[in-house]
């Protein structure tokens, strides 16, 4: 077990793709899929003792995307339906049961893989619009990820400007000297890390949390794609929030076991675990190979959004989905089994046993597309 964390005190824009490029990608994906077996269906709902189970709401809509373009009105209806089902309330009351009008709410996205491989801006936009409709002031809504360059490349700057909400990167906000994750593993701080340029025997042993999560955000809504990761297994909610909230993370890439431990333990800090009120898996597309690149030939369209208060349950379902999709397409199984979800369960962050995850699937047609 690693050392303990210490504390001393809509959108459809910004894609970077032309219509012609989209058509090319679509044709490539269609051609490669031709003649292959039909993709596996979503697993049936699993019923378990309510007391022990995690609850996941899956909202599906065949109109969520058209030619790989997310449809904003449909997505907004899907988000509203999912949150209503999860909370048992409707309209603004559903959101106000999760956040308050005085909260500073951070919508965490995973932008490094781009606007089509990572969290899709249209999904984040749907969440932001629902918050605005519930009466949350625009300046109290923050779109964020680790690097501003990734956010801008994915089009989040355009989205933030359109909605009047803020765009902040964890790196840009700076790192908090008083809140850190310490491990006896030396890293080399990079430009932008708190200890970059410093020297000394203990330099590189700590990963400092961003001031954005330690001093400003009071609630976090975490949105991650259904995308494979070569070391973490899935670029999911646990991985993206943990690695996006601290600096000096390159040291964890030296060994998978170290990464698995660090992700769960960094997430377990109260500034993260205690502030996340909603987790959403952007499962419009399931990409089971490629990690940081958009590869439609290794993707299946699901047209789903998945909601839960339990990030471990959602990541467990995502990894299971990736394995089943790979197997259905004839790709070799992974040579390792990531332990991030198991480690997170040991820290009581959620449920990683598929038999204890209750899945409720809802079909939401959404409003007419014009």
**pTM of the complete model:** 0.86
pLDDT at 84: 98
pLDDT at 250: 94
Cα dihedral value 67, 70, 73, 76, nearest 10: 150
Q: What percent of the chain has pLDDT over 70?
A: 85
Contact between 276 and 241 (Cβ < 8 Å): yes
Please report which confidence band the pLDDT of residue 2 belongs to, taking 50, 70 and 90 as the band edges: very low
Contact between 100 and 137 (Cβ < 8 Å): no
Q: Across 17-31, 130-144, 328-342, which has the greatest mean pLDDT? A: 130-144
Please report which confidence band the pLDDT of residue 72 belongs to, taking 50, 70 and 90 as the band edges: very high
pLDDT at 295: 81
**Tens digit of each residue's pLDDT (9 = 90 or more) over 241-270:** 999 999 999 999 888 999 999 999 999 999
pLDDT at 7: 41
Task: Tell the burial category of 198 from Cβ atoms under 10 Å away from its Cβ (0-12, 13-18, 19+).
Answer: exposed
pLDDT at 33: 44
State the CB neighbour count (10 A cutoff) for residue 105: 24
Question: How far are the Cα atoms of 10, 64, 220, 287, 324 from residue 279, in angstroms, in the given order?
Answer: 19, 19, 9, 19, 22
- Scan for tokens 């593993």, then name that residue: 185
Question: What's the sign of the alpha-carbon dihedral 148, 174, 229, 264?
Answer: negative
Where in the chain are the domains? 46-176+210-363
Q: DSSP for 170-206, please give it.
A: HHHH-EEEEEEEE-S----PPTTSTTTT--STTTTSE
**Tens digit of each residue's pLDDT (9 = 90 or more) over 214-246:** 999 999 999 999 999 999 999 999 999 999 999
**Tens digit of each residue's pLDDT (9 = 90 or more) over 324-357:** 999 999 988 888 889 999 999 999 999 999 999 9
Residue 40 has pLDDT above 70, yes or no: no
pLDDT at 49: 40
Alpha-carbon distance 288 to 227, whole Å? 6
pLDDT at 52: 54
pLDDT at 145: 98
pLDDT at 238: 98
Q: Are strands 141-145 and 166-169 parallel, antiparallel or unpaired?
A: parallel
Least confident span in 10-19, 124-133, 258-267, 295-304: 10-19
pLDDT at 335: 83
Q: State the average pLDDT for the chain.
A: 87
Straight-line distance from the first to the last Cα atom of the chain, in angstroms, rounded to the nearest whole number = 55
pLDDT at 57: 98
Residue 18 has pLDDT above 50, yes or no: no
Question: How far are the Cα atoms of 125, 213, 226, 257 from residue 336, in angstroms, in the given order?
Answer: 36, 32, 19, 10
């Amino acid at each position: 077990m690693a050392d303990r964390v210490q504390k001393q005190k809509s959108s459809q824009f910004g894609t970077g793709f032309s219509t012609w490029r989209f058509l090319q990608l679509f044709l490539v994906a269609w051609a490669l899929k031709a003649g292959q077996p039909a993709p596996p269906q979503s697993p049936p709902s699993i019923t378990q003792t309510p007391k022990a189970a995690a609850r996941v709401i899956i909202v599906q809509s065949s109109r969520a995307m058209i030619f790989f373009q997310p449809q904003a009105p449909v997505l907004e209806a899907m988000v509203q339906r999912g949150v209503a089902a999860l909370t048992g309330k409707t309209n603004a009351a559903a959101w106000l049961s999760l956040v308050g009008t005085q909260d500073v709410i951070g919508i965490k996205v995973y932008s490094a893989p781009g606007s089509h491989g990572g969290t899709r801006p249209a999904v984040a936009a749907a969440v932001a619009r629902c918050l605005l409709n519930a009466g949350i002031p625009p300046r109290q809504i923050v779109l964020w990820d680790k690097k501003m360059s990734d956010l801008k490349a994915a089009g989040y700057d355009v989205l933030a400007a359109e909605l009047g909400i803020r765009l902040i990167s964890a790196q840009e906000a700076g790192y908090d000297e008083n809140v850190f994750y310490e491990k006896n593993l030396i890293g080399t701080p990079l430009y932008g890390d708190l200890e970059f340029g410093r020297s000394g025997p203990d330099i590189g042993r700590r990963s400092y949390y961003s001031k954005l999560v330690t001093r400003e955000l009071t609630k976090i809504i975490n949105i991650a794609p259904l995308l494979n990761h070569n070391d973490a297994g899935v670029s999911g909610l646990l991985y993206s929030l943990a690695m996006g909230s601290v600096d000096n993370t390159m040291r964890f890439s030296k060994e998978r076991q170290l990464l698995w431990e660090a992700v769960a333990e960094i997430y377990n800090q109260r500034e993260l675990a205690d502030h996340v009120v909603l987790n959403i898996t952007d499962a419009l597309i399931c990409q089971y190979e490629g990690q940081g690149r958009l590869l439609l030939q290794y993707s299946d369209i699901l047209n789903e959004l998945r909601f839960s208060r339990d990030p471990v349950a959602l990541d467990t379902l995502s990894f299971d989905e990736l394995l089943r999709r790979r197997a259905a397409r004839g790709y070799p199984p992974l040579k390792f089994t990531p332990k991030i979800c198991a480690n997170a369960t040991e820290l009581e962050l959620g449920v990683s046993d598929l038999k204890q995850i209750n899945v409720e699937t809802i079909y939401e047609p959404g409003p007419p597309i014009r």
